[in-house]
Structure 1
């Protein structure tokens, strides 16, 4: 989701690999991701 926001909602984004299978096996998957507040505000303003 963060990659999509940084790309401005375009289809030209690259999804970063979080090694989900390894984290899941260790029971360490994050419940939430940190997102830059400025990036969030920019995405909201683009939607309006």
Structure 2
């Protein structure tokens, strides 16, 4: 999601493969994201 914000929130963003199943099996899958609030504000500004 952070990568989509950095790309400007475009619907054309291609999501990279994150190997979720492997990370989940290793109990390394994060439960929450650390997000830069300034980056979110910029993205919301572009949407308005």
TM-score of the pair, normalised by structure 1? 0.64
Structure 2: distance between partners of 1:2 and 1:17: 14
Q: How many residues align?
A: 47
Structure 2 length normalisation: TM-score? 0.64
Structure 1 residue runs without a partner (length 5+): none
Q: Which has the higher contact order (CA 8 A, sep 6+)?
A: 2
What whole-Å deviation, never above 9, does each CA across 1:1-48 have from its counterpart, x for those lacking one?
11111011233x564554423220022311111111110110111122
Unaligned runs of 5+ in 2: none
